[in-house]
Amino acid sequence: MKCLVVPVLLFGCLCLAFCYGYANQRIFASSKHEWNKLILTHHWPVTVCKMNNNPCKDPPTFWTLHGLWPGREEMCNKSWPFKLNEIEDLLPEMFHLWPDVLHPNCSRLWKHEWQKHGTCAAELECMNSEHKYFSKTLELYKKYDLNSALLKFGIVPSTSYYQMKDIEAAIMNAYGVMPKIQCLPPDHGKSTQILGQIEICFTKEIELRNCSEGESESRHFLKDTPGGLQRKDFCVCNNTCRHIIPPVDQIWN
């Protein structure tokens, strides 16, 4: 009997290790972390500066990346740290297409997006590492070129006003799906809203889908911004308002 003790103990340890590993791999399968769509989120840098009352220095004059969000799930693995050196080869594109306009030359936005959203998106094989997550987000941003889609319909930053139906039509024409378009709330007594954020949605299979499917409430920028509260929050744009995409020289006007 004594001869069997060591093999049995070893077998038991192996079983425990296997079960722990399996359970760890299945973390995303629990109901706590279920999600059914990816949200490719763009923001208009000038509006971000305006809403934060921040004198951003030379903000980009094109729609930039905010993040890639797996539905409403967040912080799926708090023990998975962000490591800047893992995306070193992506940094030139990251600084250009995914800048942190509030904290220039800083990686805190990327760290925030990885910890809050990337660790959830990692359920998918195509994004199951930090490098894959940021690489796939950049790939989708470039493939579904929001700036070109809007430019084709003459929707550009200016002091001109746009109707929400025209902005939606431009995106529908380009992708065949309905986006979610978010604005700053209008100032008291005014009927003009400032555009700030546009979401394009995908299935888990990375196929385009309507953002409104299966969703009953809006998503807010305030809940996804590292480092402090905002002066205002984004909300789904009001179809009855006029809408503006402010140019750089209109930040404080």
Residue 158: inside a domain: yes
Q: Is residue 62 part of a domain?
A: yes
Active site residue 113: yes
pLDDT, average across residues 188-194: 83
Q: Is residue 15 a part of any domain in this protein?
A: no
Instruction: Give domain status of residue 192, yes or no.
Output: yes
pLDDT for residue 91 is more than 50: yes
Of 33, 42, 43, 113, the active-site residue reads 113
For the chain, the residue count is 253
Residue 19 forms part of a structural domain: no
> Is 27 a member of any domain?
no
Which is the catalytic residue, given 33, 66, 112, 243? Answer: 66
Helix, strand or coil, per DSSP, at residue 23: helix
114-155: pLDDT as tens digits: 999 999 999 999 999 999 999 999 999 999 999 999 999 999
Angstrom distances, CA of residue 140 to CA of 22, 49, 137, 172, 202? 31, 25, 5, 17, 10
pLDDT tens per residue across span 208-236: 999 986 654 444 444 465 554 344 688 99
Query: How many angstroms separate the CA atoms of 202 and 124, rounded?
Result: 13
Q: Domains in the chain: how many in total?
A: 1
Parent domain of 72: 37-250
Specify the pLDDT at position 215.
58
Is 112 tagged catalytic? no
Can you give the pLDDT at residue 72?
Answer: 78
Predicted pLDDT of residue 225? 59
Please tell me the predicted confidence (pLDDT) of residue 251: 52
Can you give the CATH number for the domain in which 246 is found? Answer: 3.90.730.10
Q: Is residue 10 part of a domain?
A: no
CB atoms within 10 A of CB 22: 9
Query: Is position 2 within any domain?
Result: no
Task: Kindly tell me if the per-residue pLDDT of 252 is higher than 90.
Answer: no
**Which DSSP category does 182 fall into?**
E
